[in-house]
Structure 1
Amino acid sequence: MELSQLRMFKTVYDIGSIARAAQVLHCVPSNITARLKSLERELGTPLFFRDGRGLRISPAGEVFLDYATKILDLAEESRHAVVPTRAPCGPLRIGAIESSATGRLPRLLAKYHALYPQVSLELSTGTWAQLLDDTQHHRLDGVIVAVNIERPGLKRAVMYSEDLILIASPSHGPIRKAADLQGKAIFMWPPGCPYRFALEQWLLRHDQVQSIVSIASYGAIVGCVSAGAGVSLVPRGIYEQYHQGAGWQGYEFPELTSIDNLFYWHENAGRHPAREAFVALLQTEVGSGLESGDCWDSGMTQTL
């Protein structure tokens, strides 16, 4: 078993095609096919099944993937370990829920690129469940989500907290309590979103039962609110990103407490200088900024 075989195996899994993997690895497809067959003979089990024109990983391949990833990560870590002063470089795959990617990360990503131009950073968005699953299976190096739960093999740390702000067009009149939402359209992300859950629980505590329109886009949600079509509950990062010229008012309620956003990474990922530099910058630029209140414009909202 050689590192080159493991690298071929993981690249084929990541891309889903031997032909495209050959392009990435700068070799001919027949070489990859032969090396994978040799690896399967050594292991005594198939790692992939043919699925039409593509490939589907086998159950044994799923198990082997975790070990292959650990071995490749350790090999890369050992290579960097002998050059401790080297600046972070190489690929970095970060995932984030859309509220974080839209409201908190744009300026941070620009600064990160300026500080570490040798890092090839990829940002993916998705649901928190999908992002955690991708981290568990080493498809992402770390993710930012707004849930705090145990997941096998993952470590986590709180990065910052998001205040929750109810936004509505002035045409709806002042909103001072949950009952003031009666009869108004509510636009939120689909079920599973922690911010939607916070709003649903708040309404239930005040005996308010209302239907919620599911929209999986903050741009569309704030567009609907700006047009006077209804209301929404958004994290402060989204509020700050869109409030200028949006034509709506923000309301804060003590019962709608802030929600932590956490960074998750795999416990077996080993040392990853690019990821560690990203987390350090995130804590400095977003975490500490939120704690001090320097980046908040609280005068734009009403606290009730």
Structure 2
Amino acid sequence: MDIQSLKFFRAVAASGSISKAAKELNYAQSNLTAKIQQLEGDLQTTLFYRHNRGTTLTDKGKVLLVYTDKIFQLLAEVKEVMNDNGVPKGPLAIGSMETTAAVRLPALLSKFHREYPDVDLTLKTGPTEQNVQSVLQYELDGAFVAGPIEHPELSCQTFIEEELVLVTDTFHQPLTSLKEIQNRTILVFRNGCSYRARFEKWLHHEGVIPEKIMEFGTLDGIIGCVSAGLGISLLPRSVVAKHVNEGVLVQHDIPEQFGKVKTIFIYRKDKYSSTSLEKMIEMLSSEKIGLV
């Protein structure tokens, strides 16, 4: 068993076909087939079921894929460690909730870029659940998500506590009961969003079943549709403050048990923390007081 064989194995597992993997790797199909057969011989097990649609991993193949991913992650980490001379540089992939990226991060990331211009910083937005999985799968170095997050493989650092408010268009009367929105459309991010989960928990607690739920992929889309009277939403006060002050939206306070949520920064415990990631964590510690 060697690294090249594992590389070929992972390519076939990903594509579901030896012919597709051979084309992607620019490698003769017969040679790739021989390599897979050799790997199966070395391990004394069958790694793939062969069928007319391609290949499917056996149970043993699924186990090997987990170890193969770990091996390649460790190899990448070794290279990262060897190239890290204590100067922040190279790629740093950070995830964030859409709302946090829109309001809380621009100034922070701008400062980080000014102080560490050699860091190739990328930001990927998505719901909390998606960001957590991306960090666990080594696709992101860290992510800003809604807490609490309790996972044995993750380290967490509190970034800020957000206050959630219900937002409506300017024609909506002040709320005296959540049941008043029974017939209103609920505007939310897709499943996996912590604010959506908090909203649904509040609705369930009050015995309110919304007439319709509409999913959006962007914050601007939700705000625009709320202001147009299409429906209502639950968002951080900091996110809607500008629109409320401009008279575009009206905010309504909600019970504290549903209205407080912490934004935390998560990263893997077992992954080597590059100098770039360490500097990001240090900056969060020094900046979060001023952001609250």
1:233 aligns with 2:231: no
**Structure 1: which amino acid aligns with 2:271?**
A
The residue correspondences of 1:186-205 to structure 2 (distance < 5 A) are 186-190=186-190, 192-205=192-205
CA shift, 1:106, in A, is: 3.6
- The question of whether the paired residues in 1 share the 8 Å contact of 2:153 and 2:269 is answered with yes
CA shift, 1:65, in A, is: 4.3
- The question of whether the paired residues in 2 share the 8 Å contact of 1:135 and 1:266 is answered with yes
* Aligned-partner SS, 2:259: coil
Question: RMSD between aligned alpha carbons?
Answer: 4.0
- The question of whether the paired residues in 2 share the 8 Å contact of 1:166 and 1:232 is answered with yes
The residue correspondences of 1:201-280 to structure 2 (distance < 5 A) are 201-206=201-206, 208-217=208-217, 218-240=219-241, 245=246, 247-255=248-256, 256-280=258-282
Equivalent position of 2:119 in the other structure:
119
Aligned residues: 285
Q: 1:223 to 1:147 in 2, by over 3 A?
A: same
1:99-131 deviation line (CA, Å, top 9, x unaligned): 333333344334433433433334333343333
1:138-197 deviation line (CA, Å, top 9, x unaligned): 333333322424345333333222210222222113335535545444322345533233
**Structure 1: which amino acid aligns with 2:275?**
P
The residue correspondences of 1:1-304 to structure 2 (distance < 5 A) are 18=21, 22=25, 28-30=26-28, 33=32, 37=36, 41-45=41-45, 59-79=59-79, 81=81, 85-151=85-151, 153-175=153-175, 177-181=177-181, 183-190=183-190, 192-206=192-206, 208-217=208-217, 218-240=219-241, 245=246, 247-255=248-256, 256-285=258-287, 287-291=288-292
**Structure 2: which amino acid aligns with 1:187?**
L
Give the distance between the partners of 1:246 and 1:15, measured in 2 at CA. Answer: 52
CA shift, 1:234, in A, is: 0.4
* Aligned-partner SS, 1:261: strand
* Aligned-partner SS, 1:132: helix
Q: 1:240 to 1:148 in 2, by over 3 A?
A: same
1:234-281 deviation line (CA, Å, top 9, x unaligned): 023432575575611223335243111233333322333333333333
Q: TM-score, normalised by structure 2?
A: 0.72
* Aligned-partner SS, 2:278: helix
**Structure 2: which amino acid aligns with 1:197?**
A
* Aligned-partner SS, 2:93: strand
Give the distance between the partners of 2:5 and 2:136, measured in 1 at CA. Answer: 22
CA shift, 1:5, in A, is: 5.9
Greater Cα shift, 53-62 or 110-119? 53-62
CA shift, 1:60, in A, is: 4.1
**Structure 1: which amino acid aligns with 2:225?**
C
Q: 1:239 to 1:288 in 2, by over 3 A?
A: same
Q: 1:57 to 1:15 in 2, by over 3 A?
A: same
Give the distance between the partners of 2:53 and 2:122, measured in 1 at CA. Answer: 28
* Aligned-partner SS, 1:29: coil
Structure 1's unaligned 5+ residue stretches are 23-27, 292-304
1:54-95 deviation line (CA, Å, top 9, x unaligned): 876665454344444444444454555567643233333333
- The question of whether the paired residues in 2 share the 8 Å contact of 1:6 and 1:72 is answered with no
- The question of whether the paired residues in 2 share the 8 Å contact of 1:162 and 1:237 is answered with yes
Identity of aligned residues (%): 31
Give the distance between the partners of 1:35 and 1:219, measured in 2 at CA. Answer: 53
